[in-house]
Structure 1
Amino acid sequence: MTGPPPVRSVQGTTRLYAVLGDPVAQVQAPALMNPVLAELNIDAVVVPVHARPEHLEDIVRGLKRVENLDGMFVTVPHKAAVRRLADRCGTTVDIVGSANVLRREADGGWLAENFDGSGFVAGLAGAGHEPRGSRVALVGTGGAGSAIAAALLAAGVDRLLVYDTDTAKLTALAARLKAHWPGRVHALSGPHLPDVDIAVNATPLGLRADDPLPFEPASLPSGSLVADIVMKPRETRLLREAAARGHRIHHGIHMLEGQLNSYRAFFDLR
């Protein structure tokens, strides 16, 4: 029986990548990226860093000064806040207002980009769920949700309905999206999803067993797809209840798997 390639041993020459989050126990980037680095024979390692929001700026500024640190992956709840700590931002970051990765540039500056959306769409397509022409409802307009919303529109969804309990955040995102994709974006007043083909949970609800549902799968039409971006646990309460009602489900890990090629290109890992 063969398993994944072993992770290289850490030594004085090893390059570092940090994963910033709060909490951080659920992050999957080290488990996916470290075997890739080992297989490519790259002397580097991805490590989780537990960064509380009140310490984020100090942690990022400190990590920037670590000479053998080449990049940072960013997860809940820092994707919006980390944008202002970058020296330059990619086009996607400017549109969605959040970043999920930072790269040290040759001149010492730091570039922020966001692959959550493209990764989510790639994960959907890879699982046989082509979003083009579909009606999609997305709950959660934070860092990941904003990126997913833009990527779904770029992928050709016919109609995108968005909702967030933070009405200011919801209104701001809807306005940015409408400027690029007029007539296809609609803000909802509550998590009561109308007739849609795909319903997406882009909130952190589901990380804990006692979390409430982000929306009720019982209200969705038969045959709709319910997608979650929470990666751990793999089977969130939302996905379990959706499956029990006969809906198709799509797991959160697909979003990260869909980003692997983007990460390799962004960090020039070959």
Structure 2
Amino acid sequence: MQIDGVTAVLVHLAYPAAHLQTPQRFNPRCVERGVNAVLVPWQVRSEDLSATMEALRKAESLAGAIVTIPHKENAARLCDRLDGVAETLEVANVIRREPDGTLTGRILDGDGFVGGLRAHNVAIGGRSALIVGAGGVALAIAAALIEAGIARLRVANRTQPRAESMLARLRRLADNRSTSIVLEIGAADPAGFDIAINATSLGMHEGDALPMLAESIAPGMTVAEVIMMPKITALLREAEIRGAETVSGDAMIAGQIDPFIDFVLGPAANGAAGDTA
């Protein structure tokens, strides 16, 4: 990769940033597509996010940002506009800096996650899913599952008000569906569900508690993660022991790299030599 005076710079906003895996995928893909852009990690504390995003408006070499834990909801609030389902969910994981310095946010986590499930031949339409967590990534995944035709969706979260807020936003999407869906709040118990998803940060660190009741995991069930490091979390190990299908967090990010490039860089990416997207 050659960086020069016209290289488009993207920053990956996170706290902490040591676990990030997106730059390792994004930058080689830019090389493959002939796109003159680079993604670098930026470790930013929550209390500094507003000032950081204000600074991004002033940096003309900046094309945009990718956003991850714990910033997805606050970043959306700091954008000037939200695109697509991000407006309904009020969450963003990618931001484009416009020529006038304004910021446009979009959420791609859900599309990437559902794409990862499908790449593993996991059926979604007419099935049931438990999602543990009620943050930005959980919201995006739940929305994508609704769009994909999930029939029953339970949200489990430590704090009830946050789960209720998430369900209120999801109901706005579900109301537009032609088929009915059961939306509920309940325990982090996967018993009776076809798909169980950890959308929390539990499992990122050694000694973390399991995000759901492992004893209820059974053969025929799919257990999926959003955590990318470690690739095989304690939850996925427990699921494998119990004969369930597993999908790691890698699958979610793999499906987002080209959409990240296309959204942030627009015509510059689409017209690049060697584009194979």
Q: TM-score, normalised by structure 1?
A: 0.93
The corresponding residue for 2:195 is: 198
The answer on whether the counterparts of 2:46 and 2:71 sit within 8 Å (CA) in structure 1 is yes
Give the CA deviation at 1:155: 0.3
The answer on whether the counterparts of 1:174 and 1:185 sit within 8 Å (CA) in structure 2 is no
Q: State how far apart, in whole Å, the 1-side matches of 2:36 and 2:258 are.
A: 18
Q: State how far apart, in whole Å, the 1-side matches of 2:208 and 2:62 are.
A: 35
Pairs within 5 Å for 1:150-229:
150-182=143-175, 183-229=180-226
SS in 2 for 1:209: coil
Q: State how far apart, in whole Å, the 2-side matches of 1:188 and 1:195 are.
A: 15
SS in 1 for 2:72: coil
Give the CA deviation at 1:88: 0.5
The corresponding residue for 2:228 is: 231
The corresponding residue for 2:105 is: 112
Residue 57 of structure 2 corresponds to residue 60 of structure 1: no
Pairs within 5 Å for 1:124-139:
124-139=117-132
The answer on whether the counterparts of 1:18 and 1:49 sit within 8 Å (CA) in structure 2 is yes
SS in 2 for 1:80: helix
Mean alpha-carbon deviation: is it higher for 85-94 or for 224-233? 85-94
The corresponding residue for 2:275 is: none
Q: Cα RMSD (Å) of the superposition?
A: 1.4
Give the CA deviation at 1:187: 2.7
User: Once the two structures are aligned, what percentage of the paired residues are identical?
Assistant: 36
Deviation readout 1:126-151 (Å, 9 max, x if unpaired): 12112111111100110000000010
The corresponding residue for 1:251 is: 248
The answer on whether the counterparts of 1:218 and 1:242 sit within 8 Å (CA) in structure 2 is no
SS in 2 for 1:19: strand
The answer on whether the counterparts of 1:162 and 1:185 sit within 8 Å (CA) in structure 2 is no
Give the CA deviation at 1:222: 2.4
Taking a change above 3 Å as real, the CA distance of residues 130 and 116 of structure 1, as seen in their structure-2 partners, is same
Q: State how far apart, in whole Å, the 2-side matches of 1:132 and 1:259 are.
A: 21
Give the CA deviation at 1:116: 0.4
Deviation readout 1:164-207 (Å, 9 max, x if unpaired): 11211100111221233155243333212330110000001111
Deviation readout 1:85-111 (Å, 9 max, x if unpaired): 111011311222210010012443210
Residue 145 of structure 2 corresponds to residue 148 of structure 1: no
Q: State how far apart, in whole Å, the 2-side matches of 1:101 and 1:236 are.
A: 26
Q: Give 2:245's aligned amino acid.
A: R
SS in 1 for 2:2: coil
Q: Larger relative contact order (C-alpha < 8 A, sep ≥ 6)? A: 2
Mean alpha-carbon deviation: is it higher for 51-60 or for 179-188? 179-188
Deviation readout 1:61-83 (Å, 9 max, x if unpaired): 11221110001000000001101
Q: State how far apart, in whole Å, the 1-side matches of 2:152 and 2:261 are.
A: 32
The answer on whether the counterparts of 1:119 and 1:259 sit within 8 Å (CA) in structure 2 is yes
Which consecutive residues of structure 1, in runs of 5 or more, have no partner in the other structure?
1-7
The corresponding residue for 2:31 is: 38
Residue 87 of structure 2 corresponds to residue 90 of structure 1: no
Which of the numbers 12, 16, 20 marks the counterpart of 1:23? 16
Q: State how far apart, in whole Å, the 1-side matches of 2:168 and 2:34 are.
A: 45
Q: Segments of 4+ in structure 1 off by > 3 A?
A: none
Mean alpha-carbon deviation: is it higher for 58-67 or for 111-120? 58-67
The answer on whether the counterparts of 1:136 and 1:198 sit within 8 Å (CA) in structure 2 is yes
